[in-house]
Structure 1
Amino acid sequence: MSVHKWIAGLQSDTPVLEAAARVLKLRFKTVAHFLPLAANEPEKDVEYVHQLRVSSRRAAAALAMFTDLMPKKRLRPLRKQLRKIRRAAGNARDWDVVQIHLRDWSKQRPKSEQAGIQFLQGLSFDRRLQSQKTLVELADASLDVQDAIDHLDLGSEYSKNRTLGEHAVPFLDGLQDVLHAAIETDTGDYEHLHRIRIAGKELRYAMEIGAPCFQPPFKEVLYKAIEEMQEILGTANDSHVAVQWLSALRDELKKYQPAEWRAVRPGIDQLLQYHRRRLPAQRRQFAAWLKRWRKQHQRFSDLALAPASLAITERTHS
């Protein structure tokens, strides 16, 4: 199945109910495709779990954008089930990433470190197996998005002629404000960098839905910049989590299994030092990114396309 980042057939003046139905159906169809593959056949392709995590994030972004159009009694169970899938896929993917990194890391390390690396590989494999159990339990999860689609409604708050552009532009402006607020209150600790990353992640997946409502720089410049930020902060987060894990593991081994610790110490210590060095390097990359972002970013609404009816009127009177 091809994975759709952008959604074909949408325009700024597409009726918002039609757009919401199209987006929700496509996003949840992708989740439903990868869920049984990730749960029952993960050994065939490590990308199954990765694609399940990404598709569940995109589906969550769709729910967030169109929440106001959905009855709460149908939204709540859908959101709850999706959250379970997203967390399970995220946990499994995190341990896949650890295993991939350890495999590549071991190829370039000396013999003296191999015992420690093999110890970590065994431990991470066990954690990965545990995470798979949750995915298996969710394999038959019900994601009845069609029921929610059938009950989409603008209600009395909006005009019946409301378009995707009228809905998505202020929504994305709001997410942009959340990101900028997180950036401007950056305290310098890595937990806060993680919060910036989360705000950027929510913005990125919403931008994929709203892209047809904006001029080309929105997609070609600003979206790519957000992708770059996610890559930088994702790497920083991986190292931050690794430092916490390895530090706690080191302390436990020292205390409860000192003989084992002496055997595995070189491999664990060197990996811990690697991640500690990488953290400030990623912060410097983020600082450089932020400098570029402040020069190039624009208020999203300034890039919004004019509604087709307005554009026709303007051409007629020009």
Structure 2
Amino acid sequence: RVHVIGEDELVNKAKIVTEAVFLARDLTNEPANKLTPQSFANKIQEIFKDLTHVSIDVLDERELESKGLNGVLAVGKGSVNPPRLVIIKYKGDKGGLIAIVGKGVCFDAGGIHLKPTGYIEDMKMDMAGAAAALGAVLLAAKLGLRVNLAAVIPLVENIPGPKAARPGDIIKMFNGKTVEIVNTDAEGRLILADSISFAEKELNASTIIDLATLTGAQIVALGHRIAAIMGNDRELVEKLKKAGEDVQEYLWELPLPDFYEELVKGDVSDLKNLPSPNSREAGSIVGGLFLKNFVEKAKWAHIDLAGPAINPKEWEWMPKGGTGFGVRLLVNYLENISES
């Protein structure tokens, strides 16, 4: 908690922003045995319980099945802790809905493609995108921004078990497309894809921004201080880049070229979640191209923040562990919309 002396409006705003960033950091650092899909959903409800103009829905595994959110179900079915989908709605205006989709893998063991030592230890943090999405909506509500906003947060554990998804399984996604699971450790794009489709089709979102610790390739390309951004709308991408630059949460755009589309096209299905089980080609771009197939008419941007969301060591003002990257970037973007 941040304690501030005085009533200055700017100082009070700084306090609110800081507390939201610290919340995202704390959630990201929370041990996986304390932050399961259900306990995370409970925490979200507790955080927002006293805020006006905010409503929360939590879909359990039965509701996920009835709605056809099979990407979320496939990733989460190996764990004894079943998946959830949390929808946080903030109504601050009469305009179009902006949806923020945050990847919430509460622990990512890799599924049957089990992660090795050296890669699995920090996987309690694979829900940093969900924490950032939550923090951004919380801030928008507390600041009273004139925007209509929804956070769509899929919560799963990707763990091997008797019911876990297998390599070669084919699932029918929420939007009707079929996907072959080539590698169970490329799970984040499956839950994001369903959530993006859900945001557009069920919530009628006109703008969708997703945040995810999606690929190690992003860290290789850009390190821990710059996130990758891709999208289908030039203006949206540029506004997000500028919003990030203003608060020192930097974004670097990667292309989504047509000639790489073949890397996600399926042989026995519409799509596959990786070109091959051990594919390393254009890793972050391939993740973005896969997600692009689940957007129809909405303006969309994908932020791969695998590096900036999780710090391997302390630097300057940034602590080791969860950083809360994305919260200030998104709120700056939303403030610009609110003021215009």
| Higher fraction of helix | 1
Rg (Cα) greater in structure: 1
- TM-score scaled by length of structure 2: 0.27
The structure where strand makes up a greater share of residues is: 2
If asked which structure has higher relative contact order (CA below 8 Å, sep 6+), I would say: 1
